[in-house]
Structure 1
Amino acid sequence: MKKIAILTTGVFAAFALAACEPADPVAEEQAELVEQEADVTAAQLEEQADAAYDQNMDQQGDALNEEADAVQDQADAQADQIRENN
């Protein structure tokens, strides 16, 4: 009986693991690249925003931070779409 329980648990664990794996590894890689590129772009924009704040150009700093947020939001949406389509 103990062996059956162990085998059953192992089967359920295998199914759970398979459900967690992406359906298409290529799509997952593409989605991750989109997100990584957006992170780099957003970081650059945030650095520019910090420099603008240092120079008391608050309006420009706010605009750059908003642009950085928009870049990340767009990349997240694009990555989600890539994952859903594959």
Structure 2
Amino acid sequence: MKKIAILTTGAFAALALAACQPADPVAEEQAQLVEQEADVTAAQLEQQADAAYDQNMDQRGDALNEEADAVQDQADAQADQIRESSEAN
């Protein structure tokens, strides 16, 4: 019984470790770079939006915030695609 418990625990540990490890480290790094670049761009757009709000340019601020959201959404989709294509290989 103890051997079965140890083997089962080891199998679960191996699965958990495999789930934590990226399938392709290069693809994961590329995906992270895409996300980091988007974060920088989005932060800049959000700063511009804040400045527009400070100048009572609400419409411009809203547009910049929407653009920042779109940049992040696009980067997330691109990063997911990179990860998925690396898993397929």
| TM-score, with structure 1 as normaliser | 0.88
- Give CA-to-partner distance per residue, 1:5-44, whole Å, 9 cap, x none: 1233112211232133221011011001100110010000
Are the structure 2 counterparts of residues 26 and 36 from structure 1 closer, same or farther at C-alpha, using a change threshold of 3 Å? same
**C-alpha RMSD of the superposition:** 1.6
Percent identity over the alignment? 92
Query: How far does residue 4 in structure 1 lie from its aligned partner after superposition?
Result: 3.5
CA distances 1:31-84 after superposition (whole Å, capped 9, x unpaired)? 011001100100000000000000001111111101101100100010000005
Tell me the number of residue pairs that the alignment of Structure 1 and Structure 2 aligns.
86
Q: Structure 1, unaligned stretches of length 5 or more? A: none
Change (3 A) 1:39 1:7: same
